[in-house]
Amino acid sequence: METIAARALAARKYAKMTQKQAEAASGVKQSNISKIERGDTGRSMGLLALARAYRVDPNWLDTGDGPAPWDEVQLRPARDNANEPPGPYRVTRTPPSSPSFSPGTPGTVPLLAWTQAATWTGGAGRSPIDAERWIPCVAHHSAGSTYALRVRGDSMTAPHGHLKSYPAESIIFVDALRTAPADGERIIARLESNNEVTFKVFKEEDGRRWLLPLNPRHEPIRMAFTVLGTVIGKWEDED
């Protein structure tokens, strides 16, 4: 199966789920599941949540590499037997407000408070991270050094018709190891004059660096700043 759409449809059918049941199990909207299966969208932030709901290899679902759910390698006997007596079991399929996973789940990153970005040093091998929750990030990123933030203010809300826009409360993914951005990349920066954290477009020309908002109602920032990380993706519902 060469497309995400074909793998997503096959995985759901193999799991014997309707799109509505997949929505309840994963938290991904049914309309988004339908778009993924039709091929109307590329990589989606919901793929990891769907992979967990279907109990399939997320790498296979995303790229086609690795075992398919019907391959024998997936059919392993239970490692332990609890020897429990027969009894009633209930599976609750109440969709969460948004996908959320246990801290440190592979493929997920912590959603931090805005002020935490100023002192972020990564989480691999360190003490537990104080995060609102952990959410999936399917974009290629530096493990242990990537985090998510909720956008503050409207300075990165683009005028109508622009493809990229980051309204307030939308969620962005930041790779803290990428501190040498190219002209035009979106970055998180700390202003050296007051240590304020800001989200802007990085601009560089003839040795000069400045920060550019997408919203023309805001002024460019031309004071000294430190790059804290580069934005590598955005969490956005397809509707």
CB 235 within 8 A of CB 170: yes
Q: Note the pLDDT tens digit of each residue in 15-41.
A: 889 999 888 888 888 888 888 888 877
Q: Note the pLDDT tens digit of each residue in 155-193.
A: 999 887 656 888 888 899 999 999 999 999 999 999 999
CB atoms within 10 A of CB 174: 26
Q: What is the DSSP letter of 129?
A: P
**Does 203 score more than 80 pLDDT?**
yes
CA–CA gap between residue 51 and residue 137 (Å, rounded): 13
**Does 227 score more than 80 pLDDT?**
yes
Q: What are phi and psi of 174, to 5 degrees?
A: -125, 125
| Residue for token pair 């997320």 | 58
Start-to-end C-alpha separation, the chain: 27
pLDDT band at residue 202 under the 50/70/90 scheme: very high
DSSP 110-140: EEE-GGGGGG----TTSSPP--SEEEE--S-
pLDDT reported for residue 74: 46
**Does 66 score more than 50 pLDDT?**
yes
CA–CA gap between residue 206 and residue 229 (Å, rounded): 22
Identify any residues that bridge with 146 across adjacent strands, giving them in sequence order.
175
Q: Note the pLDDT tens digit of each residue in 69-83.
A: 777 544 444 443 444
Residue bearing the bigger pLDDT, 39 or 196: 196
SS3 114: helix
Q: Note the pLDDT tens digit of each residue in 91-150.
A: 333 444 555 677 878 888 899 999 899 888 775 544 567 888 888 887 788 878 899 999
CA–CA gap between residue 217 and residue 116 (Å, rounded): 27
pLDDT reported for residue 199: 96
Q: Which domains does the chain have, with CATH numbers?
A: 4-72 (1.10.260.40), 108-235 (2.10.109.10)
| Residue for token pair 């969460």 | 96
pLDDT reported for residue 47: 82
Q: Two tokens at 49?
A: 């949540």
Position 65: which residue type?
Answer: D
**Helical H segments across the chain, by residue range:** 4-14, 19-26, 30-38, 47-54, 58-63
pLDDT reported for residue 43: 61
Position 53: which residue type?
Answer: A
**Does 88 score more than 80 pLDDT?**
no
